[in-house]
Structure 1
C-alpha cells in the first residue's frame, strides 16, 4: 500500500476519538485514561496521548498508533486495519491486483471471498426461487443488500470458473474453502443454497453459511476453517453491530443468522450470533471488552435452553454475568418468528425484564423438576450449586444462596453446607492476582532514557554517561547511542519524532509511561530522576568493574586489571 495513503489516514483520524469508540476515556493531565480494551481489568491502566497519537496499556503492555490499536482490538492484520480506518476517514485506497507477488496469503484469500460474495449477489438477482425465499422471510431489498445475501447456483463449477477468470489460483480457492475435491476433481462447495456471508470485525468476508433451497442434506453448510476464518473467534454481524453496541452499552447474542437479520430490519442493531450454538471464551472476551451488559436470547426449544445454560456457565467462568431474555410467547420458536406478531416496543419490554442467568436458572429448575419428589428436588439443588460455583464474587454468591433458600424452600445453612462440600480449593473461585508491578519500562535504564528523551539538553549535565557504552537493557542502549549521535539538537525539539520508525512507537510509549508516573513534569524533576537512576547504574557499574579486576587478578591478566581499574577511577571522578 502506498505510504501516502497510510499517512493520509493517520493524519485524518484522531486516536483519542478512535479509542473512545471502544472504551470510555477520562482526561488525565495532558493524556486520557480508561479501562484497557485489550484485556479485562478493574482499574484503568490504558493511556492515550493526543500529542503523540499513541495508546498504551500499562497492564498488558500493548499499544501503538491507530493502526496497531485496530490490529490488536479487532484481531486483524495491517491491510485489514488500513482498510477499516481508510473507510472511516473517507480515504480511497489504491486498487491492487487480485493476486500477485506483493499479496500476502491473507489478502489473496480475502479477495477470493470478496469475489465470491459478488458472484452470489449477482446470481441471486437472476434466480426467482432464491429471491422468493428471502421475500418469504420478510426481508426487504435494502436488508438483502446490507447483509450481502446471495445465491449459489446448483452448479459444480460456475464459481470456480468465475474465480479463475479473476486470475485466482485453484490452490488458493481450495484454501479459501470455496472448493471441495474428490480425488483429482474439484467442484463448488456450495450448490443450490441461499448464501450468508460471514464477515470479520472490519467487514471483510471470511466465510459463508449456506442453506439448502430445495430438499437435501445437510440443511445448513458452513465454510471450513481456513487461514482467515476461525469459527471460535468469529461473531456474525459484529462489524455492523459495534456502533449500536457502544450506544446501548450492551450486546444481544442469538442463535441464528436470520434472527440477527430480521432484528436488524426492525431496528435492533446490537445483535450478534456465534457461528454455531456454542459461545466460546474468545467470543465472550471480545464482547466483554465492548459492552457492559451481555444478553442471551436463544430458541425456546430444549436445545436452545440447554445452550443458554451451557453458554452462561462459560460466561461466568470469565466473570461475565449474562442476562437472559425470554420472549414471553410460547408460540414463537425464535426471535425471527417473534417479529411476525410482535412490535419493537414489546421486545424492548422483554429486554427490560431480562434476568441475570443465576436467577433465570432458579426459575428454570423450578419449572423443570417436580419439587414434590425429594430426589428431583435434590437434583435441582445440585445443578444450581454447580452453577453457583462459577460465580467469583462472594457477595453475589451469598445473595444468590439467600434467594435460592427461598425459591427452593431449603434452609439457608443447609444450602451453604452443601455449597462448601462442592467447592474444591483452586477449582472454581478464581483469585484475582495483582498485575505485575515490574513493568519493563520501570528499570533505571528505561526511566533514565525517558527523562533524557524528554529533555535531551540534560545530556551535557551528566558527563558520567560518557563511561556507559551500553546500558543493562538493549532498548535504553539504542536510545542512548541515538541521543549521543543527535547531540546537536535545538532546544525544545521532540527527539522521539527523529527516532527510526522501527522504534518510534516504543519511544512514544516510554515517554507515556514516564508521564503517567510523574517523571517528566518538569526539567528540574527530570534532572532529579536522572541523578537518582544514574546513582543506581553507577553503583552497578562499579561492582561490575571490581569483579572484572578480581577476575583479572586471579588469572594474572595485568592488562585486563589495568583497563578495569582505569575505567573505575574515571567513573569515580565524574560520578
Structure 2
C-alpha cells in the first residue's frame, strides 16, 4: 500500500479535467466542466467536474469523488491499482519500495520480459529470416526495429519454456498475461511463428502483444493478446506513448490503421502518428488524443473498407469537436 503523503501528492498534481476528458467530452460551464455521465445512461449532461477542487459529481446518479476514485470506478480497479495509474498520468514517480504489489505491475512486468525475449530472438539464427524480411521487404531500419521492440516467436515448442527459465516467468504468469495457452498440462505459445509487436499504453507500459503471421503460420494474419482489464482495443492507440510529444508540438495527429502503417510513416519522418490496431476509431481513442490536439489527419487505406472507416471516423470526430481531414495517396 502507499502512504497517505504519496496519495495526497498524486491528488494534488493530477489534472482531473485532462484525466476525465480521456473518457468524457467536457464543456465549460461557469467554474465547472460539464458532460454526459459515464456511470449511467445520461442524455442531459449532469456530470460536473471542479478543476479547482479536484472532484467530480453527477447530479443524475450521485456518483462523486476525486481523480483516483474516478479511475477506480471507470476502469474497475482496486484503490492501489488506481493510485498507480493516477501517478503515471500525473508524472509522479512510484516509490522504489513499492515492489510488484499490484496485479497490474505483475501483468506488465511479465509482458515486458516476454517482449524482451522475442526481440532478442530477432538477432539470433532463428530470427534471421524475419529480420531480413523487416529490413528488405518492410524497409524498416534497425533503429526503428529496436525503437518499436519488434521481435519474433519461434515455432519450436521449447522456446516458451526458455522464456520461463531465462526471464524468470512462471507458467501461470504467462497464461494470465495471454502469452501462453495450457493444453493437456503443457503450455503452448499463443504467438508461435509470428512477428511480435509490443503494444504500449500512453505511459510506456507494455499492456499487450500483437502477432503478424509469417509464411508458415496458420490462422488469422494478425492476432492480439486477449482483452483484459488493462487492454481493450477500442481504447488503445498504438504508438501514442512515442507520438504524444510530437502531436502536442505539431498540434495534429496522424491516425493510421495498423502497426506497420504506423512504422512506415515513422520511417518517413512522421513522428506524430498513431494506429487504431485495425479497429474503428472510437470515442475513447479520441479522448486519448484530446489532451494533445483537436486536429486529426486520417491515413487509412483507399479501398472501400478504408473509405467507409474514414466516413465513420469523420462523423464521430466532428461530433466531438475535432477538426479532421483525410490524406489522399
Does TM, scored on the shorter chain, surpass 0.5? yes
User: In the alignment, does 2:127 pair up with 1:130?
Assistant: no
How far does the alpha carbon of each residue in 1:354-376 deviate from its partner, in whole angstroms, 9 at most, with x for none? xxxxxxxxxxxxxxxxxxxxxxx
Contact 1:195 1:211 in 2 (8 A): yes
Q: CA deviation at 1:205?
A: 0.8
Show the counterpart of 2:104: 106
Q: How far apart in 2 are the matches of 1:72 and 1:202?
A: 20
Q: Which residue in 1 is equivalent to 2:260?
A: 258
Kindly indicate whether structure 1 or structure 2 has the higher relative contact order, using CA contacts under 8 Å at least 6 residues apart. Answer: 2
Q: How does 1:61-140 map to 2 (within 5 A)?
A: 64=66, 77-83=82-88, 88=91, 93-94=96-97, 96=99, 103-126=101-124, 127-136=127-136, 137-140=138-141
Instruction: Give the helix-richer structure, 1 or 2.
Output: 1
Relative to structure 1, is the Cα distance of residues 214 and 36 closer, same or farther in structure 2, using a 3 angstrom cutoff? closer
Gaps of at least 5 residues in structure 2 are: 34-49
* 1:471-523 Cα shifts (integer Å, max 9, x gaps): xxxxxxxxxxxxxxxxxxxxxxxxxxxxxxxxxxxxxxxxxxxxxxxxxxxxx
- Equivalences for residues 450-465 of structure 1 within 5 A: none
Q: Could you say what secondary structure the match of 2:129 adopts?
A: helix
In 1, Cα distance between the equivalents of 2:58 and 2:98? Answer: 39
Which SS does the other structure have where 2:156 is aligned? coil
- Aligned CA distance change for structure 1 residues 95 and 119 (closer, same or farther; 3 Å): farther
Q: What is the CA distance between 1:20 and its match in structure 2? A: 10
**Which residue number in structure 1 is paired with residue 41 of structure 2?**
none
Q: TM-score, normalised by structure 1?
A: 0.45
Kept in 2: contact 1:251–1:295 (CA 8 A) = yes
What secondary structure is seen at the aligned counterpart in 2 of 1:159? helix
Would you say how many aligned residue pairs link Structure 1 and Structure 2? 300
Residue 160 of structure 2: aligned partner:
159
Query: Who wins on radius of gyration, i.e. which is larger?
Result: 1
Q: For residues 161 and 89 of structure 2, what CA distance do their matches in structure 1 show? A: 28
Instruction: State the partner residue of 1:187.
Output: 188
Which residues in structure 2 correspond to 1:470-549 (within 5 Å)? none
Note if contact 1:22-1:246 (Cα within 8 Å) is conserved in structure 2: no
For 1:126-525, what aligned pairs fall within 5 Å after superposition?
126=124, 127-136=127-136, 137-163=138-164, 166-217=167-218, 218-288=220-290, 290-315=292-317, 318-320=319-321, 323-328=324-329
> How far apart, in 2, do the equivalents of 1:153 and 1:5 lie?
47
Task: Note the C-alpha offset of 1:312.
Answer: 3.2
CA distance in 1, matches of 2:246, 2:69: 24
Query: Does the aligned pair in 1 maintain the 2:254–2:299 contact within 8 Å?
Result: yes
Shift of 1:73: 10
Separation in 2, partners of 1:69, 1:262: 37
Task: Indicate how the Cα distance of structure 1 residues 276 and 152 shifts in structure 2: closer, same or farther if over 3 A, else same.
Answer: same
| C-alpha RMSD over aligned residues | 3.7
Structure 1 position 227, deviation (Å): 3.5
The structure richer in strand per residue is 2
Q: Quick check: 2:23–2:284 contact (8 Å CA) kept in 1?
A: no
How far apart, in 2, do the equivalents of 1:140 and 1:199 lie? 20
Which runs of no fewer than 5 residues in structure 1 stay unpaired?
Answer: 24-34, 98-102, 329-575
